[in-house]
Amino acid sequence: MSMQNKPKMVEAVMFFSERGGICKQMFLSEFEALLDGVVNMPEFAEQQMRVAYVTINPRLLIKAAVFFYLDFDENGAPDSGWNIPLQHLAERSGRGPDLGAGPIRLACRSQCPVSWHQMHLWDPSLSPGQNDLVLLRDAVKRNNLGLLIEEDNAQAVATERLQMAAEDKWYAPDYALEEIAKPKDKLDQEQRQKAAQMIKQQRLRISSLSQQHEEELAKFKLASQERYQALQAEMQGQQQALRQQEELNASLKAQLAVQAASFQSSREEMTEQLHALEHHGRSEGDVLRAQFESEMQAKIASAVVEFKEQIAIRDVELAYRNEQDTQSLQEITRLKRAYTELASQGGDQILERLAKLGVVFVVYHPGAGHLTIPLQDISAYQDNPLAYAASKCFVTEEQYRHWLAHYQQPSCEALLPSGERCAIPIDRVDTPSRFTLGDSNCCARHKTSSRMRTVS
């Protein structure tokens, strides 16, 4: 095998599919060409892909791995602001599981040597049925990239070169016996390393589960708040129904009073008729009086029974409504108490607690990329985000604003004799510190004219 074909360490990038498994493999140079916009990947359009960067030795064994996210737009082009130092993370990361060549260097969300890159990494699944590290190991073993493999065949010694040792050298001295006992110590050391590696793997899994628990707790808090709002709306509906029921009861009572007044009027009218009949005959009057009294008593009794039944029904409904209102008020009181406890913590305390839990506040600004904002800089960023981004780009706020206008619309800003802008498309300056007003935002014709005026 010639020197130029000698196997060496290889850097590769592998893409994970949503269903599990590895759907794409490429060398690091091909991945860098993808980031530079030389090629696109339409099959990943409008997706956030889980990707792993690995280093592979000549025996097709993984030495280091970095698990990160990569977003693609609708055309299959990767995020232009992506800037994760894969090789630096792989060199600085902690130890991971043994994939055949000793414990690997592993960088993921739960084990990230650079805190501001943590939110862009993901934790591999270590479950027995779907272990992402095992998928990587098997994919490398299949060697779909066509890597050169190092041959382990030992060269045999020619027979004519073999020599007989002297008889006094046949038996090993005492120090050689001590060397024979060393493999046992080495075996014990390997066992301790394997145990430490297993503990490291379990800690990584515990960290991943803790993060999942925090996400579930946040979802529970959101569901509780939504439930509180739903109970508020339900209570308002019940209160409105209660008011309508009270209005209906008042209306029924008014109708009952009107009917009672009508019965009283009819009774008085019949009484007058009875007094008139008394003049015509006492016997006929007695008969009519008895008939009148019986009819009136029957009508009054029937009306009273009917209205008592209606009132009883309304009272039962009103009692049921009152009981529901009492339960709703108790639930609202409990939710208000919980809301008060959460509100009493304060925004600053919540931000401080989140910072202590390892939460990183990251924003994106053109030219500056993804910025990690320390807790003490939150108020300064809220007062003037553009000034904060300009300071991170090492330029003034005014220069950053001029560059941002040029970055969003890269065209010549020089004025023509007619007073209109030249507006010829020009090359975009991607870095604010390299932007020069009057030069970077002008086309070649206006740049040349400005130089000629300067020389003259």
Q: Which residue has the higher pLDDT, 328 or 155?
A: 328
155 falls within a domain = no
Q: What is the DSSP letter of 421?
A: B
Alpha-carbon gap, residue 160 to 169, rounded angstroms: 21
Q: Which residue has the higher pLDDT, 245 or 279?
A: 245
Q: DSSP characters for 124-191?
A: PPB-SSSBHHHHHHHHHHHTTT-------PPPPPPGGG--PPPGGGSS--HHHHHHHHHHHHHHHHHH
CA distance readout (Å), 299 to 271, 272, 289, 296, 310: 16, 19, 15, 5, 17
Alpha-carbon gap, residue 277 to 272, rounded angstroms: 9
pTM, two decimal places: 0.39
419 falls within a domain = yes
Domain that holds residue 287: 220-344
> Phi-psi region for residue 394, left (φ > 0), alpha (ψ -120 to 50) or beta?
left
**Shared domain check, 131 and 227:** no
pLDDT at 352: 78
Average pLDDT taken over every residue of the chain? 82
pLDDT at 451: 54
The count of domains in the chain is: 3
Give the least confident one: 23-37, 50-64, 139-153. 139-153
pLDDT at 169 over 70: no
214 falls within a domain = no
**Shared domain check, 326 and 226:** yes
pLDDT band at 454 (very low <50, low <70, confident <90, very high): very low
> How much is the average pLDDT of 22-51?
93
**Shared domain check, 411 and 337:** no
237 falls within a domain = yes
**Shared domain check, 402 and 328:** no
pLDDT at 150 over 90: no
For the stretch 379-384, contacts whose Cβ atoms lie closer than 8 Å and that sit 24 or more positions apart, written own/partner, are none
pLDDT at 6: 61
- Which residue among 344, 365, 387 closes a domain? 344
**Shared domain check, 140 and 16:** yes
CB atoms within 10 A of CB 40: 15
**Shared domain check, 95 and 22:** yes
- Which residue among 323, 344, 365 closes a domain? 344
277-292 tens-digit pLDDT: 777 766 776 778 888 8
Task: Please state the separation of Cα 353 from the chain's center in Å.
Answer: 18
| Type of residue numbered 404 | L
- Which residue among 100, 120, 150 closes a domain? 150
Q: CA 129, 132, 136, 139 torsion: positive or negative?
A: positive
> How much is the average pLDDT of 77-99?
90
**Shared domain check, 114 and 7:** yes
220-234 tens-digit pLDDT: 888 888 888 889 888
pLDDT band at 76 (very low <50, low <70, confident <90, very high): very high
3-state secondary structure of 248: helix
Alpha-carbon gap, residue 331 to 47, rounded angstroms: 43
